[in-house]
Amino acid sequence: MIKDRRLGHLGMASRDVDATVAWYVDVLGFEKIGEFKAPNGKIDHYCFESEDVEKDYEYGLEQGYTITTEGIEELPGLWEWGVRFFKIGAPTGQQVEFCQIL
């Protein structure tokens, strides 16, 4: 079952990225660990961390989830050793990502 996952990150839109980052870092005390600018300016997805992304992927296939990535993808440049992830489409239109930080 996938329900016991920690929220890993949330992609969100901002009209003023610098001011938004400053507020989260300076006011709330968060640490900025990365930034990606999407051209269409909308909330793109939310992500749950996985201890075994392959197991979660297989579970998703068994449950008939709509996988919206081309299988499990990998981004070697994120975090120290990279990340492996896949996304599913929620019935209400959101993208839900499951990622394993390597």
Dump pLDDT digits (tens) for 75-97. Answer: 887 778 889 999 988 765 668 88
Q: Please give the Cα distance from 45 to 4 (Å, whole number).
A: 18
Please report where in the chains the tokens 């239109």 appear, as a residue: 93
pTM assigned to the model: 0.63
Distance of CA 38 to the CA centre of its chain: 14
The owner of tokens 């929220």 is 7
Low-confidence ranges of the chain (pLDDT < 50): 1
Is the CB of residue 85 less than 8 Å from the CB of residue 77?
Answer: no
Fold (topology level) of 7-101: 2,3-Dihydroxybiphenyl 1,2-Dioxygenase; domain 1 (3.10.180)
Q: Where are the domains of the chain?
A: 7-101
Evaluate whether 11 touches 40 at the Cβ level (below 8 Å): no
Angle at 73 between CA 64 and CA 21, to 5 degrees: 105
